[in-house]
Amino acid sequence: MRALQDHIADWNTVSLAELEYVSLYRRIDTKFVLPMEQLYLLLGSLKEDHKILEINNNRIFKYKTVYFDTPDFQFYKDHHNGYLNRVKVRYREYVDSGQVFYEIKRKLPGDQTHKTRMQTDRMQCSLTSDQYDLIDYQRLDNRPMEMKIVNQFHRMTLTHMNMQERITIDTDIRFDVEGKNAILPDIAILELKQPRYDVASPVVRMLKKMRIYPGSFSKYVTGVAMLNLHQKQNNFKSQLLKIGQFNPSFSEV
């Protein structure tokens, strides 16, 4: 992480309060997978017209997420089968601040994403009845929910000087379940969050110049597939192949 910190040391910064203007709970999310070497080049090209979130002199923050699903992995299968209307259910802890949120992330038609969240005291291994009712998902069909996988990563958040878009960049991605883990130290997941997809965005133009194009990446389904928790993986083969190409030091224990 030292190399990454060096690349963002002299950036202009934005406060959390200022960043609230571009929270974009209802938005278009566009994801890009890139190797760390290309991330460093990208950051150099964005420095002049972007700012980075800084809190208490920190610019890279640790996240921990616990994902839930039905015993037969309904949410995972819905993603695999390409349902446009699907959900992910999770607890997310902002480790540096100690804040924990229960979140439901909905993928909507037209490439829109909507996130509902409520603050809670701590991460838990189960859901309360109120949290369960909040899912409100037809294919859940009153089945129970259980904890499936733990995910950890580091994130930095950028915004354009005009405050019209937000960019998150996740690195040091790790998945854990029942004594097994998968670690991805050599790739970054960049997510561009906009009211609508803008091809004129500097980050989109630079990524295109670098021959890096939008793609699908879900931490939950990637972790389930990489740890072989479900046999249905055919529609994720190309994504897993790309991860392997970009991440030669991938390890599974």
Residue bearing the bigger pLDDT, 241 or 105? 105
Q: How far apart are CA 99 and CA 229, in angstroms?
A: 29
Mean per-residue pLDDT, 171-197 = 90
The count of C-alpha atoms lying within 13 angstroms of the C-alpha of 94, restricted to the half-sphere facing its C-beta, is 13
Q: Residue 151: its pLDDT value, please? A: 97
Which one, of 83, 131, 64, 123, lies nearest residue 104 by Cα?
Answer: 131
pLDDT band at 252 (very low <50, low <70, confident <90, very high): very low
Residues 6 or more apart whose Cβ sits within 8 Å of residue 198 = 165, 204
Alpha carbon 159 to chain centroid, angstroms:
16
Mean per-residue pLDDT, 159-185 = 90
185-231 confidence digits (pLDDT tens): 899 999 998 877 778 888 999 999 999 998 888 899 999 999 989 88
Q: How far apart are CA 208 and CA 199, in angstroms?
A: 10
pLDDT exceeds 90 at position 119? yes
Domains of the chain, residue spans: 2-245
Q: Which two tokens stand for residue 203?
A: 């980050």
Q: How far apart are CA 101 and CA 117, in angstroms?
A: 6
Residues 6 or more apart whose Cβ sits within 8 Å of residue 34 = 42, 187, 188, 190, 207, 210, 212, 246
Do the bridges between strand 146-160 and strand 112-120 make them parallel or antiparallel, or are there none, so unpaired?
Answer: unpaired
Q: Which two tokens stand for residue 74?
A: 């309904």
- Number of Cβ atoms within 10 Å of the Cβ of 55: 15
Mean per-residue pLDDT, 221-242 = 84
Q: Residue 247: its pLDDT value, please? A: 65
23-55 confidence digits (pLDDT tens): 555 567 889 999 999 999 999 999 999 999 999
pLDDT exceeds 90 at position 84? no
The answer regarding whether domain 2-245 maps to CATH 2.40.320.10 reads yes
Q: Which two tokens stand for residue 80?
A: 């695999």
